[in-house]
Each structure stands twice: as structure tokens, then as C-alpha cells.
Amino acid sequence: MFTSYLKKHYRRFGPGLLLLAVLLLNVTGAVRLPLIERLENWTYDLRLNLIRPAAIDQRIVIVDLDEKSLAEEGRWPWSRAKLARLVNQLFDRYQAAVVGFDVVFAEKDESSGLPLLEQLGTGLLQTDAAFQATLTTLRSELDYDLVLAQSFRDRPVVLGYYFTNYQAAQIRASGALPAPVFAEGAFRQTATSFVSMTGYGANLPELQAAAATAGHFTPQTDPDGICRRIPTLIEYQGGYYESLALAMVRTLLWNSPLTAGIPEQAGGIRRLEWLELADLKIPVDEQACALVPYRGPAGSFPYLSASDVLHGRVPAEELTGAIVLIGTTAPGLMDHRATPVSAVYPGVEIHANMIAGILDQAIWHRPAWVLAAELVTLVFSGLLLTLALPLLGPLNSILLAITTMAGVVGTASFAWQHHLVLPLASVLLLTVVLFVWNVTYGFLVETRAKRRITGLFGQYIPPALVDEMSKSPEAFTTEGTSREMTVLFSDVRDFTSISEGLDPKELSLLMNEYMTPMTRVIHGQRGTIDKYIGDAIMAFWGAPLNDPEHARHAVLAALDMQGTLARLRPQFMARGWPEIKIGIGLNSGVMQVGNMGSEFRMAYTVLGDAVNLGARLEGITKEYGVGIIISETTRAAVPDLVCRELDRVRVKGRALPVSIYEPLGPADALSPQLREEVNIFSELLTHYRTMAWETAEKLLGRLQESTPDSGLYRVYRERIAYFRANPPEAGWDGVFRFKTK
């Protein structure tokens, strides 16, 4: 069964399996799909913005070189003496815990005029003792770099610097770097691909020597220009240098040593997975970068104007014990980045987010096992959707796709709460593409199948069956075949008289008003219209769609046709049309069905002796005064319906006798009087066939008392009278022979 399913739908599997293979290659790194990378970044950014803390983190304060400060203190760069006063204020007045600079002091500050005085002291005023004495006294005050360095000394001050990546011929290095946190060769036996740089811009040696340490503020920008990560370590000439945020946390923790977490992985691969500082773990990726745990848009940390701090206008409690970052948001100083939370974001606040994430142990990461999890999820989801979607209808396909995506998104959301980043893009893309492909393919194939089925059978069968058949169009053909079926013939009685009493337009309108509801009833019971023959209808059940209950559906259709006509008669009479009565004959048996005719015209129809018997049964309905007659084979197929045996007859053109019945409906739908009539008539037939004429006649009298106008009872009274006068031959079998159609 599974093999036949694969053969039937193999065309639908190909694109899905191909996409699955491409996505698996992308995950393993064999191929690179920028689209997947962009989608993954988008899902990461979405999670970051939807699930984030709302409160402002008061532990980390940004002293902002903002427009207000520049307006009050003058344009940047300020003199180092003024910055020294700012540092002194932060430590002496406000008792800051640690101060970090998101600026670089790469050049000497000569704004005091000291170089000019030195020049005069070695030139024109070389012999002026008073000038030389004054210069000696002022030298320490006018050397602003020394003043700033002295404000750093023995204080937890962390300077910032940056790395650059120049070509070999353009290598540029200025200022003094701090000591690397890991020496050359520390990660030689690992598979980590560190961010490597060839140049840097750092602080003056005297400033670096006076500060506690320094950290780089070099961002790692993704291909879309968004800053999502910061390299915790950057490799330069064999040494490994820490980021500004990491250096500030280390300084805050009394210069705690930094250790590397390099667990042994499957296959003997060793890769840096985390950095450890005291009891804090900082998870990193394959490039030793850490994801920035953005708390929200700019303003997630307190901002204080540098001029307010400088002049002591800030309440002490806002800075006491705080981690302070000195940076700028002034537009002209160009320290803004594009981030997942904002297209324009202060660079200094990126470091604040990273510091908070390290302290709170809230940095998201992707462990090495996430790759294996993504591969397993892709394979499972891909095979499930590829094999299941062709079996499902549109609604169930939507439910399966939504369930798959909800499961993946729900798992990723749960993992996010535990600071794990599970990939979403590949599985979501696979699910959407497979769903769209299968729905589109199914629609196109189903539409084509419907057109084919409609072309073959649309004029015969109801639309509901066309929809059902279009699911397996290859199972249906118009070629001739034999099968067990039920045929129905109906005919309007005295149609000639009716047609003579109406003009052609009225007659046509009458037939349309009659044929339409009759056809609707047949279609409602899954019947196939064979043809309209004037006022007659020929229909059958069991083809082209196989119907195990063809006899039952046909009998119910016949009963409904009579009931529908009874409801139509008052409407017809109100329009001045004559009363219409119909006779219906049904027979079940083996018939030949298919396209039959000539090269000029073909019709999908049924032929055979069983069909002819159905037509004969319709013809004798008027002989018995009943609306419906079914054969014994049809009767045997509907044991749940009450049927009154009418007679045993030989119709014209058929040698074998057949029992005929009038279907009355379900037992619970019949009145007690009608059920009693059925029982009495059955007893009457028994006496009739044994030629007990007197007993049969008494029973008939009882029946005619309740239904004096019954044509059926009148037929049997006439027969009994005839046989009393003309007794049947010896061995009479009770079968009545019809000599006409």
C-alpha cells in the first residue's frame, strides 16, 4: 500500500526532498544561502524585540557627552584637565564603582599652551630665572595628559580602544595596547575562528599605564549592517584582547582572572564555548563573539549629561556604586550603530547592554548541539510534511502546517526564555514552501482532474461526485465494463393528453419545473443521469463512482421523487397546469456501463437484461395503480425498508418470473394502519397463489373497506373473479404474464 502511495504521488515528493537536501547542506555549511541567513536574523530580531525586559537598569549609568554638554563646555575634544575633573567628580563626589571610556585618547592634549612655554624656555627666556621657576611650577598643572593620567591612577578606570583591519602594506598602529588576556598559542589546538585584526588605535602610553586596564569597542557587524554581536576576544599578532564590557566587569570584580571553556566535543573537536570570570559564564560563538542582550531601544539605561556631573548637579544616589560608561550620543560625533532594536542606536549603550548581560547571566547563545538538533528537526519535519501533505485536504494541510510551525516556534520561545537561540528560519521556510507547493500542486492537479472528470461525466453526475472522483481521476474511465448496479426509469403518465392541453411554451416551462427538482433528488442520492427521453428520466447508481449501497440510494431517490412531486402538485395546479403523476421502476443486477454509440455520437449509458427489466417495471406501475415498483433483487438489497410484495410476474421479452414490490419507506415512518394493510395483503397473496379464492376475497374486502379506491386491490378483485369463472390449469405457479410492454 505504501509503495502504491509513493508511485501515485512521487511527482509531489521531488521538490520537497530537493529543498530539504539544500537546507541540510546549508545547515552543515556545505553551501551558503544568504536568504536563510537573512531570515534567521529576522526571526532573531523579532524574538529580541518581543521578549525583553521593560525596566531601566539603574546599575549602569551613561555619562553622556551630549549636545547640552557640548553647548556648555565647548566642542569636543575637551581638554584632558576637564576630563580629569569629571573623573575626580565620579570617584570623589559620587563614589562610582568603575568608570569606562567609550572614547580614545590617541593624541596629546596641547591646549594648555605648555609646548609654547617650553619653546620659550629653551629659547628667548632660557636665562630668565623667574620664567624658568614659574615654568617648573606650572609644568605639572599644564601637562593635561599627565593630569588625566593622575586622575586614573589607583582607580578602577577602563579605557577604550579599537582595532582595524588594514592590508599588510597599510598596517597602522598608534598608542599603547593593554596586556592581552590570553597570550599567543593559548587557542592553538581549538577550532575557534577568532576575529583577527592587523591594526589598532589606542590611548597614549602614559594614560594606558595609569588606567586599570582597557578594552576594545570594535563591533562585529553582520552582512545586513546590524550589530548583533561583540567579539569578546580579538586576535592581534598572536595575543587575545578583551572587549570593553568584559574588561569593565573584570575590573568590577577586582581584576578576576579570565578562563576559557573548551569542552571536548564529538570527533575530538575542541572549540571555545564560553569564557568564565569568577562565577560568571559568558557564552560565545565559533568566532568568540557574544550576542548582545539588548534590553530595548535607546534609553534602557540612565543617561546623565556630562556637564551636570562635572558641575555636581546630579543627585548623589544616581551614581553611587554605579558602573559608569562615558560616551556620546551627540549626532556630530558619529557614535551610532544599527541594531535589532533601533536603526540608530548609541554605541556606548551597546556596551552597557553587554555588561548587564554578563552580570545577569542573560546572554543568549547557540551551543554546538544546536546544529544536530536543527538537522534532526529538518529531517523529521521535511519527511513528515512531504509524505503527509499529499494525503490531506486543504483544511487538514493548513492544520498540519500550523501545528508544525507552532511546535517549532513554541520550542524556540521556550528555549529563548532559558537564553538558548534555536534556529527557526530553515524549518519555517521548509514548512511554508512544502505547504504552498502541495496546495498549489494539488489545486492544479485537482483542477485538471476536475476538468477531465467534468468533461467525461459532468453532464451525468452531481458536482459532489465530480469533486470526489477528481481525487483519483485515474480510477475512472468511460470504457465499457460490467458491474453490479441499479437502474431507475420514471415516466409521466398520460403525457400525451397533458401535452395536447398546453401550448409549447407552457409545456416547456412545465417540463423544466418538473425535471429540475427530480434531477436534484437523483443527484442528492449520488445518482447518475443517463438521459431524458421526452418526459421520461433514466438514471443509474454504481457508476462511474462505485457505490456499495447503490440499491438503497436508488430506492430512497424514488421515494423522494414521489414526495417532491406531491409537494409540487399544488403549485402546478395554482398555475393552471394539469395534475402530474409518475411511475417509477427500479431493478438491480449486472449491467454493462460505458461510452456507447457510434463514431458520430457517444453517450455514457447502461445496457443489459437488467436494464430492460427496470424499464418493464416502470411500464407496469400503472397496471397496479402504484407509484414505484422494484424487483426482487433490489428488494433484497434494502432489508431495512418496508416493501409490499405486489405480484410475481413475467414481463414481455423475459422468460423467468420475477417478484415485484412497492417500497413504502422505513418502518418507523409508516402508520399502524398501513403496516396492518401490508400484513393483510401479504396473507391475501398466499391464499391467492394457493387458489383459496374465498379466503382471499374476504381479505380483499377488508382492505377495500379502508382503501376503496386502490388500483392494486381492484386488480386482484378482477383476477379472483376471473379465476373463479375460469380456474387456472393444474400446476399453476401464481405468476402473471404481461403480453405488452
Query: Is pLDDT of 600 > 80?
Result: no
Cα dihedral across residues 464, 468, 473, 477: positive or negative: negative
Local structure of residue 243 (DSSP, 8 states): B
* SS3 assignment, position 234: strand
Instruction: Please indicate, yes or no, whether the overall pTM of this predicted structure exceeds 0.85.
Output: no
* pLDDT at position 5 over 50: no
Phi, psi of 450 (to 5 degrees): -65, -40
**3-class secondary structure for 78-113?**
CCHHHHHHHHHHHHHHCCCCEEEECCCCCCCCCCCC
594 Cβ contact list (under 8 Å, min separation 6): 477, 478, 479, 480, 481, 604, 605
Q: What is the mean pLDDT of residues 591-614?
A: 82
The alpha carbon dihedral of 698, 701, 705, 710 has a sign of positive
Q: Indicate whether 289 pLDDT > 70.
A: yes
Domain ranges of the chain: 2-32+367-451, 60-109+154-360, 475-667, 671-741
**Is the CA virtual torsion 429, 431, 434, 437 positive or negative?**
negative
**Separation of alpha carbons 258 and 275, rounded Å:** 7
CB 606, CB 540: distance < 8 Å: yes
- The predicted pLDDT at position 170 comes to 55
Closest-CA residue to 616 (of 459, 463, 478, 736): 736
Do 176 and 105 contact (CB within 8 A), yes or no?
Answer: no
Of 635, 698, 637, 624, the residue nearest 664 (C-alpha):
635
- pLDDT score of 720: 92
Collect all residues with Cβ–Cβ distance below 8 Å to 170 and sequence separation of at least 6: 199
Q: Which CATH number fits domain 475-667: 3.30.70.1230, 3.55.10.10, 3.30.450.40, 2.40.160.40?
A: 3.30.70.1230
Q: What is the dihedral of CA 700, 702, 707, 713, to 10 degrees?
A: 0
What is the pLDDT, as a whole number, of residue 462? Answer: 57
The mean predicted confidence, pLDDT, of the chain is 87
Provide the 10 A C-beta neighbour count for residue 547. 22
pLDDT > 70? residue 424: yes
Is the predicted pLDDT of residue 268 greater than 60, yes or no? yes
* CA 504 from centre of chain: 59
Q: What is the pLDDT of residue 138?
A: 59
Give the span between the Cα atoms of 100 and 280, in whole angstroms: 20
Indicate the residue type of 290. Answer: A
> What percent of the chain stands above pLDDT 90?
60
Write down the number of H helices and E strands in the chain: 24, 28
pLDDT score recorded for residue 141: 65
How many Cα atoms within 13 Å fall on the side-chain side of residue 148?
27
pLDDT at 150 over 90: yes
Element of type H or E holding 665? strand 658-666
Neighbour tally for 586: CB within 10 Å:
31
pLDDT in tens, 528-577: 888 988 899 999 998 887 889 999 999 999 999 999 999 999 999 999 89
Highest mean pLDDT among 190-194, 267-271, 478-482, 552-556: 552-556
By 3-state DSSP, what share of the chain in percent is helix, strand and coil, each rounded to 5?
Answer: 50, 20, 30
Residue 527 has pLDDT above 80, yes or no: yes
* pLDDT at res. 188: 85
Q: How many CA atoms lie within 13 A of 182 on its CB side?
A: 22
**Nine cell digits for residue 395:** 483544511
For 157-216, write each residue's pLDDT tens digit.
999 999 998 765 555 778 999 999 999 888 988 888 999 999 999 999 999 999 999 999
Q: What phi-psi label fits residue 453: left (phi over 0), alpha (psi between -120 and 50 degrees) or beta? A: alpha
Contact 357, 293 (CB under 8 A): yes
Q: In what order do the strands lie in the sheet with 289-291?
A: 220-221, 227-231, 289-291
Cβ-proximal residues to 254 (8 Å cutoff; 6+ apart), any chain: none
Cis before 728 (ω within 30): no
- Cα–Cα distance between 525 and 515 in angstroms, integer? 16
List own/partner pairs for 306-309 with CB under 8 A and 24 or more apart.
306/63, 306/64, 306/65, 306/66, 306/69, 306/73, 306/86, 307/68, 307/69, 307/72, 307/73, 308/68, 309/63, 309/86, 309/89, 309/90, 309/94
In contact, 230 and 247? CB cutoff 8 Å: no
Question: Helix, strand or coil for residue 491?
Answer: strand
Share of the chain above pLDDT 70, in %: 87
CA–CA distance, 82 with 693 (Å, rounded to integer)? 136
Residue 492 DSSP one-character state: E
Cell readout for 130 is 623667574
Of the listed ranges 263-267, 299-303, 307-311, the one predicted with least confidence = 263-267
Residue 487: which pLDDT band, with cuts at 50, 70 and 90? very high
d(CA 175, CA 493): 114
Quick one: which of 522, 626, 540, 628 has its CA closest to 589?
540
Confidence at residue 131, expressed as pLDDT on a 0 to 100 scale: 59
Gap between the Cα atoms of 318 and 158, Å rounded: 20
More confident residue, 478 or 640: 640
CB 260 within 8 A of CB 272: yes
Q: Is the pLDDT of residue 333 over 80?
A: no
Supply the pLDDT for residue 654. Answer: 78
Task: At 72, list the grid cell.
Answer: 556648555
What does the pLDDT look like over 639-694, one tens digit per residue?
Answer: 999 999 999 998 877 778 999 999 999 988 899 999 999 999 999 999 999 999 99
How many alpha carbons lie under 13 Å from residue 611 in its C-beta half-sphere? 14
Which three cell numbers mark 488? Answer: 431507475
Q: How far apart are CA 103 and CA 114, in angstroms?
A: 24
Structure confidence by residue, pLDDT tens digits, 85-102: 999 999 999 999 999 999
Pairing of strands 213-216, 157-164: parallel
Axis crossing angle, helix 129-142 with helix 114-121, rounded to the nearest 10 = 150
